A = this chain, B = another copy of it.
């Protein structure tokens, strides 16, 4: 059995910098036609020069792979003129509440619509979508649900701004998506596979620890419902976030699950299991091209139904399903 995917896109990807980037960027560019590159580097991407340099670093590492890195800016107050000038070099701006995840210390301290308005109005006018890591600073299992009213206020205050709820993990976010016209969402691979039970129900699994943390079974069900039916407001975004093994198997384990190189086989396995293989193409590419109005490079990726054993690690990065068998592989 074979499955042809046209121009798969990963609309939420962490490529890091330096040696880590050189190690892992080719594991995305090999399988995807393009990816939305998160700007929470050290320091975060906030200027045109940084966008250009970072893009060049990625293109150098992925040379020959027919891969488009869609660049983003780290949200802060930006003026209309600056945004107008940078418009063609970025695809969106990513907002992090301060301190909510890896390298987000410089994020927004308080999501206050009035103070964010000048930048958000400029983005709205210039058709620059806003990507949001939507978590409050409350109890870890409640953070996303507590952020929903902020998503809704933003959506109502800026009705022409496309707002993407990144890596949604809850039934509350799934519902909000349907209640506001200008809310969209990405869903990761791992949140379609795991709940908190997989992270902490048996032994504790640091390689499954991420932000937002995996939630309850009914939350996973709500995400599956959206993804498997390729809801038109939902796109695949892996949030693949590599850390060296030493940063994961540690007294303080960094948040992030590394899925990029095995995302397509595992999505095929999942969609096949639920008899929804036909919906993988819109989920993995078509929905994103419509939401972002992009035209990614033509790239055919063929999956075959043949067993494949996930490597224990990619250099020093342990992937999701490390050492396990998957029933599909990329040809």
* Chain A residues within CB distance 8 Å of chain B: 139-141, 195-197, 199-207, 209, 213, 216-217, 249-255, 318, 322
Contact = CB atoms under 8 A, between A and B. Distances in A.
Nearest first, the 3 closest Cβ-Cβ pairs linking A and B are: A203-B252, A204-B253, A140-B201
Contacts of A250: 249
Contacts of A252: 202-205
Contact of A209 (B196, B197, B204, B207): B204
Looking at A195, A196, A206, A251, which has the most chain B CB atoms within 10 Å of its CB?
A251
A139 B195 contact: yes
B139 A205 contact: no
Contact of A205 (B141, B197, B201, B251): B251
Contacts of A196: 139-141
Given A139-B216, A204-B209, A249-B250, 6 more contacts: A139-B201, A141-B141, A204-B255, A205-B251, A206-B206, A249-B251
A203 B216 CA distance: 20
22 contacts: A139-B195, A139-B196, A139-B197, A139-B201, A140-B197, A141-B141, A199-B200, A200-B209, A200-B213, A202-B252, A203-B252, A203-B253, A204-B204, A204-B206, A204-B209, A204-B252, A205-B253, A206-B206, A206-B251, A207-B251, A249-B251, A251-B322
A133 B225 CA distance: 36
A249 B251 CA distance: 6
Nearest to A252: B203
A254 B253 CA distance: 15
Nearest to A101: B202
Contacts of A213: 200
A87 B250 CA distance: 45
A141 B213 CA distance: 13
Contacts of A200: 140, 199-200, 209, 213
Contacts of A199: 200
Contact of A217 (B139, B195, B253): B139
Contacts of A217: 139
A199 B253 CA distance: 10
